[in-house]
Amino acid sequence: MFDEFEHEQHFRRMWDAVRIERIVTYSLFTFGDSDLPYFLVTSKGNDDATVSVRQGQITVSRARIITPDSMRPEFRDFFEENEDAGFAEFLMARSAAFSNLKLSNHQGSERIVTDTVEEAVDRLNTQLDADEEDRVAILTAPPGLAGFALLKYASERITESAPDNLNELRERGLLP
């Protein structure tokens, strides 16, 4: 009994340690794939003056035909350790919103910059504002929790898109 509680508490601490610094507000596609571009800023260990910046994109794919093989969520290239991936899959499988989704992470090369996390986020926000870019998120994570930042971003977009997706299904006559 305590083991389950401790796992939940551990997951909650990791979840709360990662942040979505720049939020995007568009809905995911009801049918087909949706892309979620991002910048991920992570601190490099104990050195507060050096951070890693990585640009990437999460692709959310919905199962075209639901079979027993496609009824559980799948995460590709999110986590460095299989234990974290298994734990996330276990939790996400309990939600109907995630049950048949395939999420793939495609990340670019890492850039090391001599900024604090806050300074790097400010620079990226300024750059994205100048480019009038409103579909790219900025995520931050402590060392070792990058996968949880990606999971948090994707799950929030999926959850917030669900009402629009349901309305589209109703409009097309696929739901009462």
Q: What is the mean pLDDT, run by run of 10 residues, along the chain of 176 residues? A: 69 91 87 92 80 94 55 64 59 55 88 91 96 96 91 89 79 76
- The whole domain housing 68 covers 2-169
176 located within any domain = no
Residue 131 in any domain: the answer is: yes
Looking at the structure of the chain, the number of domains it has is 1
Contact criterion met (CB below 8 Å) for 145 and 41: no
> What pLDDT score does 16 carry?
93
Nearest to 109 by CA among 150, 147, 54, 59: 54
Residue 67 pLDDT: 46
Q: Among residues 113, 112, 151, which one has the least CA distance to residue 20?
A: 151
Kindly state whether residue 174 falls inside one of the protein's structural domains: no
* Exposed / middle / buried, residue 68 (Cβ in 10 Å: 0-12, 13-18, 19+): exposed
67 three-class SS: coil
Burial (Cβ within 10 Å: 0-12, 13-18, ≥19) of residue 145:
buried
Any domain includes 164: yes
Whether 175 is covered by a domain: the verdict is no
pLDDT of residue 86: 60
Q: What is the pLDDT of residue 28?
A: 85
User: Quick check: 56 and 166 in contact, CB under 8 A?
Assistant: no
* Residue 50 placed within a domain: yes
Is residue 27 a part of any domain in this protein? yes
pTM above 0.85, yes or no: no
